[in-house]
Amino acid sequence: MALKFFKPTTPGQRGKVGIDYKKVLTTQEPYKPLTFRVHQKKGRSKGRITVRFRGGGNKKLYRLVDFKMEKKDIPAKVETIEYDPFRTAFIALVCYRDGERRYILAPEGIKVGDQIIVSENAPLEVGNRLPLKNINPGTLIHNIELEPGTGGKLVRSAGSSAVMMGVEGKYAIVKMPSGEIRKILADCWASIGQVSNSDHRNINLGKAGATRHRGRKPHVRGSAMNAVDHPYGGGEGKTTRGTRRPKDPWGNITGGRKTRNKKKMSSKLIIKRRK
């Protein structure tokens, strides 16, 4: 485990649990040619608040992560394992045999010096990437494409992995981390292994200020507002919502209503819905 527990020398340290980056990461400085500054929108468009409870936060450099991994049949060597402020998983800097360097999602268990390859017939080893039709049933996979050549869209967050269940005609059957079982075109590519930083689910920020550093402001409950500000607001003291359905400040129903489009084309590819 790469968890780090803190002594309660301050109120903010009491109960705090973090990731021990010294045990996992190999460098603190990103590879500059693959970074650029992103203007933080702070939840605003043209100065007006469009997303509530956003603002502030640390400045951060965006790392260009290669989700497509289209450099096929060229071995690449892992040079560093790094932190990425824009995602929960760690990233790895790999150097291809032709000298080009790229960032990829770091799978669990990969180390500096390991070799990976993107190939039709790559061995089923952690970090390698190949088409779904060439992956054995029961294999853990991540960074899965939804359409061939578009790059990985599914299973990219820390500690997540899908399970390859088999191939049926032109479709592969994949069990998603949510429990959903769905068909994906067998020509789509996926990476072998589980996404790194599986301990992310166990961290405890310890204090409200740590959330502010991430650009999140306090989330105010609707029932704590005035009647003019929210459908749940007003009343004498604490009042329940009663039988009213969950609503946002503008009166739109937010809970107890199906939000998926019934006419969505991909619905026929879902074999079993998530719970």
Segment 125-131 shows an average pLDDT of 97
Is residue 76 within 8 A of residue 117, CB to CB? The reply is yes
- Helix ranges, 171-262 (H): 208-213
- Helix ranges, 71-144 (H): none
Task: Enter the CATH code of domain 3-201.
Answer: 2.40.50.140
pLDDT in tens, 5-46: 999 999 999 999 999 999 999 999 999 999 999 988 899 999
> pLDDT-derived band of residue 254, with 50, 70 and 90 as boundaries?
confident
Question: In CATH, what is the architecture of 220-275?
Answer: Irregular (4.10)
pTM, two decimal places:
0.91
Give domain limits for the chain: 3-201, 220-275
Record the tokens describing residue 273, joined without a space.
């819905």
Q: Which of 198, 156, 197, 164 is nearest to 69 (CA)?
A: 156
